[in-house]
Structure 1
Amino acid sequence: MPERTDWEAKASNLLKAELKRKGVTYAQLVEKLSEIGVDEKEANIKNKLSRGKFTAAFMLQCLAAIGEREVRI
């Protein structure tokens, strides 16, 4: 299995930090994503965030679902 790159780690950490800052669990994220028409399972989200392998579109969907409009990089 390929190692996680620094960029993948940064993306994963950024998304996890925003979820934590908003107090949103993975289970709640599944519900919020569903509300905007995105079908995800909790296990899939956990895997994506642990691997750091997800699309920019997925990251934007998650940020929109939790009501985050600005992210500091």
Structure 2
Amino acid sequence: MPKDVEVVSDYETKAKNILKAELKRRGVTYGQLADRLTMLGTPETERNIANKISRGSFTTAFFLMCMDAIGATSLSLSD
């Protein structure tokens, strides 16, 4: 079954915005996130993170690793 590109794009945008908001709320830069992910055993560069977040098409695993790396224990999914 083909994905509805518009629906998927809307959710990718939402995931990207949630991640960016959580980073901003905690004052964590992409460089700091890269360092924290590397310490968790998932080597990332600042550029790779910027690209993934810009595209918004990262995996759920990447999203959860980022949340763990910045110490997020809960999220609000409403605007």
1:28-52 deviation line (CA, Å, top 9, x unaligned): 0011111111111111100111110
Q: Which of structures 1 and 2 has the bigger CA Rg?
A: 2
Q: Any gaps of 5 or more consecutive residues in structure 2? A: none
Partner amino acid for 1:15? L
Tell me the TM-score normalised to structure 1 length: 0.92
Partner amino acid for 2:61? A
1:26 is matched with: 30
2:13 is matched with: 9
Kindly report the root-mean-square deviation, in angstroms, between the aligned alpha carbons of the 2 structures.
Answer: 1.5
Distance in 2 (CA, whole Å) between partners of 1:67 and 1:38 is: 16
SS at match of 1:57: helix
- The structure showing larger relative contact order (alpha-carbon pairs under 8 Å, at least 6 residues apart) is 1
Aligned length: 72
Q: Which runs of 4+ in 1 moved over 4 A?
A: none
Distance in 2 (CA, whole Å) between partners of 1:43 and 1:34 is: 14
SS at match of 2:64: helix
